[in-house]
Amino acid sequence: MATLWHGRFEGGSAEALQALNDSLGFDRRMFREDLAGSRAHVRMLARVGLMSVVDSEAVLVALDTVEVEMSDGSFAFAVGDEDIHTAVERRVTELAGDAGARLHTGRSRNDQVATDLRLWTLRELGEVAELVTAFQGTLASRADGAAEAYLPGYTHLQQAQPVLLAHHLLAHGWALARDVDRLLDARTRADVSPLGAGALAGSSLPLDPDSVAADLGFAARFENSMDAVGDRDFVAESLFVLALLGVHLSRIGEELVLWSSEEFGFVHLDDAFSTGSSMLPQKKNPDVAELARGKAGRLIGHLTGFMATLKGLPMAYNKDLQEDKEPLFDAFDTIRLTLSALDGMVATLEFRTDRMADAADSPYAAAVDLAEYLVVGGTPFRDAHAVVGALVRAALAGEGSLVDLVTADERLGPDAAALLARGAPVLRRTTPGGAGPGPVAVQRIRFADRLAAQSKRIAG
């Protein structure tokens, strides 16, 4: 099998070199993008007169045949097909002869692979943004269904103040909204065509990279041919955005692990989204939530691994860059799997709002409300904090229930004690963006608006 560089070489390639060097095993997944790039390139060659119309049409027909063969699995890969670009060009030349041999005019695999991977990434970023939006929709509808249910809000995983369940669910929704922003920002920066940069320096031929960029639907062409082929910021940035999204999913996963435990008992998982134990008949395990937690490690690994690959690379293209695809593909695959499973788990789980309310109804959860009662009466907050702190200490020491101690205290009294009633504290979280029913009603609307705006941006 002749290599792409057989003119310059006397001998063939060693098997070990091929095994290390070949990327077909993973880059064949970009065949549609490779074909799109080749079509745009051929049309440009014809426009600028570097290829006859007859030849360009023969190549376009051959590219269509390759598309059919690759789609239906009948494409016969050859031993020398080192990567998807080689395979396509080899087959086009078999099919279109001399016209096919003109396909690579003014083009290098360096600008070709950068183009393919950008096209692939652009689509994936948009599709993952859609999946995240769908999951946010699930969180929003579970928040709507949760009405005024409340649970303890935690800091340091210690009960702090009661919050509406809707507020808690939407807290995750807003983190995901920033992920969508980042996915779409990354898409904007990735939206630059490298095709026409050649190996690194452009060409002596009258190529027209602007029209190629427009043909492929890119927003712009490269400004600098070396940057065009040497840049993988869009890969690193995508890996970061996916890693942070994965981190957000891991936090949701961790909470579901806790909430589904006997000790918390805040949720019942649907059978379809939990697993059993091979040994312990009573077990129902939250594997989806655990994997959402675990997959973040893999995503962070892809980011740091690829950053290490990029570090210190001299301009312009280096074969090290071939290491971009496997982590990128795996990161997108991983996030898609995780998102859809976690979405299903959240959509189907049952909230045990009675357990949540019981846990949230400790009178100590309203301690700050007592201090704020004193503040309204003119006491400086620091002093109020000390007064209530002393009562809490006395209650914990067994000197009486907090309600009784508050009722008996002349600075506080029965009005203040009423603040400790079951379900009362969460009603008093009234400030903008706060955890009570008033601000949460506003928040639900703002969140729905945000989702609508997001969807528009994804489509645009």
Pick the closer one to ligand ARG by CB: 304 or 322: 322
Contact with ligand ARG (CB under 6 A) among 83, 89, 124, 255:
83
Contact with ligand ARG (CB under 6 A) among 39, 102, 107, 109:
109
Pick the closer one to ligand ARG by CB: 143 or 321: 321
Find the catalytic residue in 156, 225, 238, 302. 156
Residue 277 appears among annotated catalytic residues = yes
Query: Angle 109-145/165-190 helices, nearest 10 degrees?
Result: 160
Site membership for ligand ARG, residue 89 (CB under 6 A): no
Residues 311, 317, 322, 328: what is their CA dihedral angle, to the nearest 10 degrees?
Answer: 60
Smallest separation (angstroms) from ligand ARG to the CB of 41? 15
Which residues are registered as beta bridge partners of 151?
Answer: 163
Site membership for ligand ARG, residue 23 (CB under 6 A): yes
Selection from 114, 126, 112, 115 nearest residue 188 by Cα: 126
Q: Hey, which residues between 48 and 67 contact ligand ARG (CB under 6 A)? A: none
Token reading at 252: 């949701």
Taking residues 266 to 295 in sequence order and writing x for each that binds ligand ARG by CB under 6 A, - otherwise, the string is: ------------------------------
- Matching residue, tokens 């309203």: 366
Residue 385 appears among annotated catalytic residues = no
Stretch that binds ligand ARG, among 97-105, 109-117, 160-168, 364-372 (CB under 6 A): 109-117
Beta strands 350-351 and 267-268: pairing type?
antiparallel
Smallest separation (angstroms) from ligand ARG to the CB of 7? 15
Count Cβ neighbours within 10 Å for each residue of 362-381 and write b for 16 or more, e otherwise. ebebbbbbbbbbbeeeebee
Find the catalytic residue in 277, 302, 401, 455. 277
Site membership for ligand ARG, residue 110 (CB under 6 A): yes
Smallest separation (angstroms) from ligand ARG to the CB of 82? 7
Selection from 319, 297, 320 nearest residue 310 by Cα: 320
Q: Hey, which residues between 294 and 323 contact ligand ARG (CB under 6 A)? A: 317, 319, 321-322
123: exposed, middle or buried (C-beta count within 10 Å: 0-12, 13-18, 19+)?
Answer: middle
Pick the closer one to ligand ARG by CB: 23 or 138: 23
Token reading at 18: 């091929």
Amino acid letter at 128? V
Smallest separation (angstroms) from ligand ARG to the CB of 111? 9
Contacts with ligand ARG by CB under 6 A: the residue count is: 10
Pick the closer one to ligand ARG by CB: 229 or 365: 229
Q: Hey, which residues between 329 and 368 contact ligand ARG (CB under 6 A)? A: none
Token reading at 182: 């980042």
Distance CA 165, CA 144 (A): 10
Assign 3-class secondary structure to 302-317. Answer: HHHHHHHHHCCCCCCC
Query: How far are the Cα atoms of 170, 357, 448 from residue 144, in angstroms, in the given order?
Result: 10, 17, 11
Taking residues 429 to 448 in sequence order and writing x for each that binds ligand ARG by CB under 6 A, - otherwise, the string is: --------------------
Contact with ligand ARG (CB under 6 A) among 113, 335, 374, 417:
113
Catalytically active residues are 156, 277
- Which positions lie near ligand ARG, rule CB under 6 A? 23, 27, 83, 109-110, 113, 317, 319, 321-322
